[in-house]
Amino acid sequence: GQQVMQIPQYQHVQEGEDFTTYCNSSTTLSNIQWYKQRPGGHPVFLIQLVKSGEVKKQKRLTFQFGEAKKNSSLHITATQTTDVGTYFCAGPGNNDMRFGAGTRLTVKP
Amino acid sequence: NAGVTQTPKFRVLKTGQSMTLLCAQDMNHEYMYWYRQDPGMGLRLIHYSVGEGTTAKGEVPDGYNVSRLKKQNFLLGLESAAPSQTSVYFCASTPTGVGEQYFGPGTRLTVT
Cβ-nearest to A96 among B90, B97, B106: B97
Q: What is the dihedral of CA A26, A29, A31, A36, to 10 degrees?
A: -10
* Contact (CB<8Å) B42/A100: yes
| pLDDT score, position B42 | 87
Q: Give the C-alpha separation, A77 to A65, whole Å.
A: 18
Confidence of residue A94 (pLDDT cuts 50, 70, 90): confident
What pLDDT was estimated at residue A2?
60
Residue B48: closest CA among A41, A1, A50: A1
CATH code of the domain covering residue A102: 2.60.40.10
Tell which of A5, A88, A96 to mutate to test the B interface (max B CBs under 10 Å). Answer: A96
pLDDT band, residue A1 (cuts 50/70/90): low
The residue range of the domain holding A10 is: 4-108
Alpha carbons A109 and B5: distance in angstroms, whole number: 34
Q: Inter-chain contact B101–A45, Cβ cutoff 8 Å?
A: yes
Confidence class of residue B28 from pLDDT cuts 50, 70 and 90? very high
Rounded Cα–Cα distance for residues A65 and A48 (Å): 10
Whole-angstrom Cα distance, residue A45 to residue A51? 18
Structural domain count, chain A: 1
Q: Chain B closest CA to A48's CA: distance in Å?
A: 8
Task: Look at residues A35, A36, A73 and name the one whose alpha carbon lies nearest to residue A53.
Answer: A73
Which residues are bridge partners to A6 per DSSP?
Answer: A23
